[in-house]
Structure 1
């Protein structure tokens, strides 16, 4: 029994070492792929013709649980043309999706108009809630060109709740949470635009 126990312990140690080695080997590659995917999304929602800077390198960290739906600081990427800010892409979270958090990124220009919205990650039900993915549906493009004003607040809701946004058949919770999260993030930018766009853009400065 002692021999078998020793063999099992050795086997477990070897497996642990192997997994750790694989994780270490693939970590940098995974991070590189994530950065490339983020850059691809950023170029989708912030047109290349309105900025001349590297979006990934020009970011700040924002900590605002009420506005962004999470207690974790989230990055925001600032687009500029000849040194002048022209837009921002805010990451935010809809914490009340049907199956948990929905991570979203929203591009807004300095006229407080939504340039584009994309879903970064989610666990919503395939065939129902996953219509928040652009490859499954063009629903997220419905935010393009919109603004948030005090007098249009009620329109920022799904049609079932009296708003302008379509809900999904059999999945109202997902779009309801999504619209709410986008509205809160845009409202936050509208209120804090000057402060956000003048922060040092080094992705290490945390804004509260």
Structure 2
């Protein structure tokens, strides 16, 4: 007489297990969008740390700008995003790339609408540990570019001191340092050359008129 009861008990346990799995799946599906949105917001916030907090009130990464044709002197720029405050353009956020010692170095560079560097952040690099990777581990090296512009210093000074320029290099990482300085300089050149056009595409939702 105990066997049927045992079978019923096993069926009940199996049914409860199935219900539990179904509830878990339903819960995961219902919370997945919120989790994804939270992760996206955290990643966006980490990237936007390159901008002073009081310099924007939009979501720049959702406002890409159409890039005009690049020249050999501005080829470092690979993407641009509009930064606004009070619905007025306040800066452009550039994604730029340099060829480092090991491989590409990707930078996020914020330029105010008066042409000053507001921030520089490394997005990606594979430089030698303990040498070139100090562009990440020693952020004070990048901080020295803040407030600089295309004409401050002048054209000839936008180079390493060993190349008769103004900027110190990262010790033991000449190629990394030179590539980074050049990428920042090219980004400023690009902004100076196309500022009006970038503003025009900003006013047309990122599309050329």
Q: TM-score, normalised by structure 1?
A: 0.72
* Structure 1 equivalent of residue 5 of structure 2: none
Q: Unaligned stretches of 5+ in structure 1?
A: 1-27
2:28 is aligned to: none
Task: Indicate yes or no: 2:56 matched with 1:51.
Answer: yes
The answer to whether the 8 Å contact 2:106/2:123 transfers is yes
Residue 202 of structure 1, CA deviation: 9.2
Aligned residues: 174
Q: CA deviation at 1:171?
A: 1.3
Structure 2 CA distance for partners of 1:151 and 1:82, relative to 1, 3 Å: closer
Partner of 2:108: 105
Map 1:1-208; keep pairs closer than 5 Å. 33=39, 36-42=42-48, 44-62=49-67, 64=70, 66=72, 67-69=74-76, 74-95=78-99, 97-133=100-136, 135-149=137-151, 152-200=154-202, 205=207
CA distance in 1, matches of 2:170, 2:201: 39
Q: Deviations over 1:66-121 (max 9, x none)?
A: 31337xxx3312111222101011111102x1012110111010110000111110
Q: Over alpha carbons, which structure has the higher Rg?
A: 2
Deviations 1:147-172 (A, max 9, x none): 11297111111111111211122211
Q: TM-score, normalised by structure 2?
A: 0.72
Q: Structure 1 residue 181: deviation in Å?
A: 0.8
Shift of the 116–137 alpha-carbon distance from structure 1 to 2, 3 Å rule, reads closer
Contact 1:57 1:203 in 2 (8 A): no
